[in-house]
Amino acid sequence: MMDFIEVIYSPNAPKAIGPYSPCIKLGDFIYLSGQIPLNPISNKVEFEDIESQTKQVINNIRALLLEINLDLRHIVKTTIFMTDLSMFDKVNAIYQEYFTHPYPARSCVEVKALPKGSLIEIECMAIDTTRYENVNMNDLQGGCGGCKGCK
């Protein structure tokens, strides 16, 4: 297997229900497979309403990110799959409880069906920016120190 790819699992997120990884980390890039509203303990969809299902999906995403010390703020792109776009406003209301400005880029599409009878599935991409967030900006203002042009 490729040593530079890290597969991420979490005991607080559902196991994959097929031949795929729930989350892959490649350098600073994190790719999360579509998450459906499975309870990670029962591995079943336990809620019938779109609001509760949306919360479960986002909590599953958060659990995977927490395994690598990231959170929802590191997500840069989401794709939402819904079986009924008439519930779009309800999903937006929940989404806004979890994400803040600057919001991730996003697409939302209606699909005929989702695994396990889910109403919603969300896949996303994140970037691990933690090493850049901890850089002291004063260190960068002096330039590289390697030439007169940077000083």
Q: Which residues are catalytic?
A: 108
β pairing state of 75-82 and 105-110: parallel
Of 105, 115, 112, give the one whose Cα is nearest residue 57: 115
Dig out the tokens for 25 from the structure.
């980390």
Phi, psi (degrees; rounded to nearest 5) at 45: -80, 115
Residue the block writes with tokens 């940077």: 150
Quote the CA–CA distance of 38 and 97 in Å, as a whole number.
20
Of 109, 118, 125, 104, give the one whose Cα is nearest residue 33: 125
Quote the CA–CA distance of 35 and 57 in Å, as a whole number.
6
The radius of gyration computed from the CA coordinates of the chain, to the nearest angstrom, equals 18
